[in-house]
Structure 1
Amino acid sequence: MQTIRIFFSFIFPIFSEECCGGRPERKTAERDANRHYRAVEGEMFLMPCIESVSSHNNTVCSAAGEGAEGRSFHCGTKFSVEAKHSGKYTCSGSKLSFHLQVVKRSESSLGCFLSEENSVELLIKKGGTVPCPGHTCSNNTDTIWYKDHKAVSEQNRKSCQTWNGALYLCRVFALDTGVYFCDRQILEQGVNWTFRRAVNVTVIHNVSDPPTILYPGGNAIQDVELGLPHTLECRVRFTFETKSSREVLWYMWNYGCKTENMTLLPTEEEFRQFPETSECEVFGRVHIEQVTRQHLNQRYTCIARNIIGNSSATIQLKEKTRVKWSSLVEYPVASLLFVAGLGIVLRVKWLEIQLLCRSYFKHRKQDGDEKEFDVFLSCVWSPSPAEVEGILTNSDEDACLTGVDPLTTREGVCTQRPLEVVLPRVIEEQWGYRLCLLERDVAPGGAFTNDVVLAIQRSRMLICLLSADYLSNSNAVFVLESGIQALLQNSALKLLPIWTGRASASLVQPDSPLPTLVQRALKVLPSLDWTSAQPSTSGFWRSLRKAMPDQRVKLDSLAPNQLILT
C-alpha cells in the first residue's frame, strides 16, 4: 500500500502538494533512528519510535548507567522533561538506541532557539500556522512535525509545510487541539542533533456572543468594614476565543456619570478554561488595602468585552452595621457561665455546704425528753486520770468540786488539769447536763461500732476533744466520722470539735491519713480551741456554754453561784 502511494506521488505530484502548493513531508522512520536528541527543560518530550504503529505499546526505552532506575518510558510517551532525564536510552525489541540531552531554558543554553512560541491558538474551520520555536535561527526547512506518536505527514488530513519549517493546517478541526512536536536538525562539532520542541495548539470557536458577567449581577451593594482590606471581584464567562479578544477591566467613578470621570484600576486576572463546553471564565480582581470613607462615596464598574460586544456591572460599598454584641451575646453568655460555674462549685462543695447549713441552722425542733443523754463526750485519755488527779492540791480540788463555776473561779485553778478531766465535771456537775461516756455508761462486751452508733442516736450533742493522739486513734476517728454522718442525716444533732493543746487545727499531722469525709468536715465545722496555758479561759467556757443544748433543768433549782447567763 505504501509503495502504491509513493508511485502515485511521482505521477500526480499535485495531490501530494494538496492545498498549499509546497512539498509533502518525506517518510521519517530513518529520522527517528537518529542517535542524538536535544530537548528543553520544562517542555514536553515525545519518546522516539521506529517500529510500526501496532508495536508501539510493546516498546520500552530505558535509561542506561548508574542512577537510571525508574527512567523507563514506552515508545511514543509524552512527559515533561527534566535535567535528570539526560542520558543514553536503549529500546527493547528494536535496534534503536539514542542519547538524550536536556538543556536549561536560558538564553545562554538555547541561543537564538529561545522562543516563546510554545502556545498557539487556531480558529476552527479556518487555516492556521503552527511555528516551530526558534524557526528564525536558520533557513532549514527540513522540519518534521509529530502529533502524538505519529508524523503529521502520515496522518489522514490536509497539511503542508511552509518554507520556514512551520506547520500549516489548511482547515482546522476541534480534534487538532493537542501537543505538537517539531524536529529540527542541528550539526555541532560533527554530531548531528535532532532538536525536538513542543508546541501547545488550542482550537477556539467563532465568537458569537458578548461576554456574560456572572458576578456581580447588575448594580450590587457590598458591605465592608472601615480600616479592613477588601477585594472587588468580577467573574465573567466568555465563549472559547483568543486571549487577545477578551478583556476584563475595573473602573472607579470619581463623580458624575461621564466616561472621562472614570479611573482605570489595576486588575488581577485569573483564567479558567472548560474545553468540554467551549467556554472559559475570567476572574478580574481589584484589591483595596484599607477601606476608608472615601471608598464609600465612589462606584466601581466592571467592564468585560470581546470582539462582539461588552457587558458591565457596578458595585457600591456600604459600611457594615456592627451588631451590639454586649446586649445580644455578652449578657446571656455571662449569665450562662455564672450558672454553670455556680453549679460546678455546688457540686464540688456540696458536702461542706450541707455541714455548714446543718451546723448553723436547726431544721427541726429539739426535744430534750426524746433523748437519753444531752452530751456524748468522745476523748482520748492521756495521761491516765488517776495520775492527773494527783497534780492538784487538796484546796484546788475542793475548789473545782464545790460547784464553783469555771467562769467565776480564780485564774489557774481548774485549768491546770487536762480538759478531758475538767470538762465532764463541769458539764455534768456544774451545768447539770446528762453526760454519756463510753467507758462509763455503755455496758461492756458489746460491739464497739454498734455501741458508738447507739450512743450518738441517744444523745442530743456530740463533743470530740481533738488532739494528735485523738486523730491517730482509729476508734476515736470512727466516733468522729460516725458523728459527721449522723449530722448529715439528722439536723437535730449538734457536733462540736474542741482542739486541745495547740493553736491551730492545721498543725496536727496524724500518722495515718484521715478519711476524706473527716478531712473535709474539719475544714468547715464550727470548733473551739482549748489551751490550758493561756492567761484566761473564761472566753472558752462562755463559748462552750453558748454552744451547749438548751438547759434541761429549771433555773430556780440551781444555787446562786451556778446561774450562768447564756
Structure 2
Amino acid sequence: MPPNRTEGQGCQQDTTHQYYRAVKGEMFAMPCVQSSHGHMETRWLMEGRESNEDSAIKCMTTFLTETKHSGNYTSHTSSKVLHLQVVEEIHARCFEYNKSTVYLIVAAGGTITCPRFLCGTYTDVVWYKKNKLVSKMPRDLCESEGQLNLSTVSEYDTGVYFCDRLVTEEGVPWTLRRAVNVTAIPFETARDPPRIPEGNKTEEVELGQPHNLTCEVYFDFELEFLPKVAWYMNYGGNMKNMTEEEHESSPFLVKSEYKVIRTAVIKEVTLQHLNHTYTCVASNTVGNKSITVKLKRKIKVTWPSLVGYPIISVLLVAVLGVTLHVKWLEIQLIYKSHFNHGKQCEDEKEFDVFLSYVWSAPSAEVAGSSTFSSRSGLSSDDEQLFPVTVDKTSEIPLEALLPHVLEDQWGYRLCLLERDVVPGGAYMNDVVLAIKRSRMLICVLSAEYLTDSNAVFVLESGVKALLQTSAFKLVLIWTSGASTSHIQPDPPLPRLVQTALRVLPSLDWSSGNPARGTGNFWRSLRKTLPVQREYNSSE
C-alpha cells in the first residue's frame, strides 16, 4: 500500500518502509519522517556503514546524487527503513531530462513543470521547496497536471524545488523525486549596455616591471549571455588588439547583473608604453561601453643603503642610553614626588612634618612680637581652613607663620631642629635622624637658605630620603625673590639639589599677595600635607 502524505515540513506519516527513486546527477533530498514521539528531525544512516554522526544524512539536506547513494537507510529517531534507488542515465528510459532548469521573470506569472515519468501509472504531483510543502506557503499559486503555477514571481522564488510522483511497480509504491532548479531573473534579454564603474584613469608603472590592466564590467542578465570585453592599444593613431596577452574571468551573477573581469598583461614596461593609450571595450546586444587608461612613470624613492642600518641602530641605542642615564635622576624624582605608593608605618614616625628654614628679614624678634588675628577679606570657607592668621599690618616672614599654622591651628606634630633636637650632638646625624622620624619634609627656600651650607644639607638629605622611601614626601616653598637663576651660592649647590630644585613640584609664597592669593597658597599647602593622625591625650 502506498504511503500516505502529510502536510507541512515535507514529512510523511509513520510507515515501516519507504521507496524512493532519484536520477543520477540531479539534486536530491532525503525525506523527513514523523516518529512515534513526534520528532521531525530525521537523520538517515546507510546500512552497512559505521554508525556515527558524520556519516548520517539530515532529512531535506540537498546533495548531488551518485550511484554510491543507492541502498537502504535507517532512521536514528525511529525504526523506519528508506530504500533509495539512484537510476543511471543509460537505464532511465522512462525519465525526461530536459526540464530540470527553469527561468522565471520577476513581477510576471510563471510555471514550474515537473520532469515527466514516461512509464507506468502515477498519481498527482506534490511540490516541496526545501523542507516545506509549497501548497502550504502563504502565496497565490495553484497546482495542476504536474505543473506549479505562480501568479507573481519574486526574487525569493529562486531555489531548488522537488516534485514527488507515486508510481506502483510490481506492487511496490515508489516515490519518484525530481529536482527543478528555479532562477528568478529580471528579464530574458538585456535592456541596457554594459556598465564599467571606473572611468578613464592614469596608472603608475615602473620601467622594466610587468603591469596588469584590469577592466571590470557589469552586464544585464541574459538567457543567451555572450559577453564581449577586449583591450586595445592605441599608438600613432593605430589600434592593436591585445587579445594574445589577455585573461578573462568566468562571468558570475551579482544580483541581476553578470560581472566579467578582463585583464591585459604588459610583460615589461618600456618608455614606448608610456606614449600609448589603452582602451577597454565592452559590448552586448544593446550597446557598448569603453574606458581609456594612460600610463605614468612611478618615481622611485631612493632609500639609504641597508649597510648603514646596523650602524644607525647602534648609534640610536647609544644616544638613547646616554639620554636615559643623564635624565634618570630627574625621572626618579618626578615619579617619587607624584606617586607615593608606599604604606607608611604610622607608629614609627614621631613627627608629621620636619620644617626646615633659615631666618630672613625682618628679624626673629620682630616676627616674635607680631600679633595674630582674623584676616580681613577672606571668605568664610578660607576662615574655616585657617581662622586665625597674621595681622595684615605686620610684615611677618613665612618662617614665623608656618609653625603657628601647622602646629597651633592645624594640629600637626612639628619637628624644629632648634627646638626638638638635643644640642651638642653631631649636626649631620641629627638631621638624618630627624628626617627618618618624620613623615614629611618642608623646606622654605629663600636667598639665605640656599647660601647656608647646613640648610642645603637638610634639603639634600630630604631628597635622598625621597629617593629611598616611597612613602616619604618633600615639599618646596619658594619665598619672594628666591630663585636659583638669581642666586649664585658659593660653593655651588650639589648636583642632586640642583636637579631637585629644577624638577620637584613647589609652592610660591609672597607676603604682598592679596587675601585671596594668600588663601590659595594655604589651601594648596593643606592638600600636600599627610593625612592627620589622632593622638592620645597622654602624648
Q: TM-score, normalised to structure 1's length? A: 0.41
Q: TM-score, normalised to structure 2's length? A: 0.43
Which has a greater percent of helix? 1
Structure (1 or 2) with the larger CA radius of gyration: 1
